[in-house]
Amino acid sequence: MGLFPTIDIQEFRKDQLAGNQGYLYAELRGEHHIERPHQHHFFLLVLFENAEGIHTIDFQDYTIDRHQIHILFPKQVHSWKLGANTTGFQLMVDKEQFEKFSPNFRYSFAYYQRNPVISLSNETFALFYYEFNAIRQELEDHSCAADIIYSRTAVIASLVSKEVKKMYQDEQNNESNPRLLKFQELIDIHFLAEKSVSFYAKKLNISPPHLAKICRQKLSVSPSQLIQQRTILEAKRLLKSTDLSIKEIAFKLGFIDSPYFSNFFKQYVGMSPKQFRTY
């Protein structure tokens, strides 16, 4: 069964240029392929200076280009094929350290997970590069100061959030954005137990029709589709990264039985859970 392995930060220590117990810094130069998709227990930031190829994150392909930052949270599944001209810088952060600076991400984690690749201007790339390099230098210092690394990483999180904010500046009806981001955050928290749009609308203090209007205006999908998409993503992760039976996965995701789950999955993915697991 072709399951996705889950990899701990310690498995990358042999390739690190600098690091300590909670952080690891490494570089990508030249052609590099991850043939077998995998999950991480840790948080990963990749800053590409020059790059070409494809990065697949949670079963979605993203074209890799120069001056991009790629963001991966724990449990996301990824693989990539990097071309010969690639130069990139990786910062890996274990879950304990990530939890300390994560409040510096201004928006719901769900947003970053759905938009994991951000293109940067030359000026903004230079800011990220400075912080990455400063973290590397501090990690290389034998008297490495944890608070300095934390501060630098918090700056990077703030820079990422600043770029996200720019993505919204040209949108109309900006007052809807905070509610949409909160809705995505609520889905991540409650999707296993709550499937009804009315539950989320009540949490947001708006009516279900108003929530539907926001989703259709901003994302061209219904609230129900967003909830279903999150369920499908979790199903894919469980099918590929665990040895749980299809029946066990169905119950874990809140389905009354495995045939209902299988029909739901096939409707959205185009193949049965069993076929997807061995695909």
Q: Does 153 lie in the same domain as 46?
A: yes
Q: Does 164 lie in the same domain as 27?
A: yes
Residues 72 and 113: their CA atoms lie apart, in Å, by 7
Q: Does 232 lie in the same domain as 182?
A: yes
**What pLDDT shows up at residue 278?**
80
Q: Does 151 lie in the same domain as 40?
A: yes
Question: What is the tens place of the pLDDT at every residue in 23-61?
Answer: 888 889 988 887 777 778 889 999 999 989 999 998 889
Q: Is the pLDDT of residue 236 over 60?
A: yes
Give domain status of residue 1, yes or no: no
Instruction: Identify whether the C-beta of residue 91 lies closer than 8 Å to the C-beta of residue 12.
Output: no
Q: Does 191 lie in the same domain as 153?
A: no
Angle at 35 between CA 21 and CA 16, to 5 degrees: 25
Number of neighbours of residue 259 by Cβ within 10 angstroms = 12
Q: Does 161 lie in the same domain as 192?
A: no
Question: What is the token pair recorded at 71?
Answer: 């963001």
Number of neighbours of residue 37 by Cβ within 10 angstroms = 19
Q: Is the pLDDT of residue 250 over 50?
A: yes
Map residue 142 onto helix, strand or coil: coil
**What pLDDT shows up at residue 218?**
78
| Sign of the torsion angle spanned by Cα atoms 185, 189, 191, 194 | negative
Question: What is the tens place of the pLDDT at every residue in 189-219?
Answer: 899 999 999 999 999 999 999 999 988 887 7
CB-based contacts of 196, cutoff 8 Å, min separation 6: none
Number of structural domains (the chain) is 2
Q: What is the mean pLDDT of the chain?
A: 85
- Give me the residue label for tokens 């948080």: 43
Give domain status of residue 113, yes or no: yes
Q: Is the pLDDT of residue 261 over 90?
A: yes
The pTM for the full model equals: 0.73
**What pLDDT shows up at residue 161?**
87
Q: Does 212 lie in the same domain as 82?
A: no
Choosing from 152, 168, 184, the residue where a domain stops is: 168
**What pLDDT shows up at residue 62?**
94
**What pLDDT shows up at residue 2?**
46
- Give me the residue label for tokens 């912080």: 131
Chain centre to alpha carbon of residue 8: 16
Confidence band for 256, pLDDT divided at 50, 70 and 90: confident
Which residues constitute the domain of residue 201?
A: 176-278
**Which CATH number does the domain housing residue 51 bear?**
2.60.120.280
Question: What is the tens place of the pLDDT at every residue in 52-107?
Answer: 999 999 888 999 999 999 999 888 888 899 999 999 999 998 888 888 888 888 77
Q: 17 or 279, which is more confident?
A: 279
Confidence band for 128, pLDDT divided at 50, 70 and 90: very high
CB-based contacts of 38, cutoff 8 Å, min separation 6: 4, 5, 6, 7, 77, 78, 79
Instruction: Identify whether the C-beta of residue 34 lies closer than 8 Å to the C-beta of residue 28.
Output: no
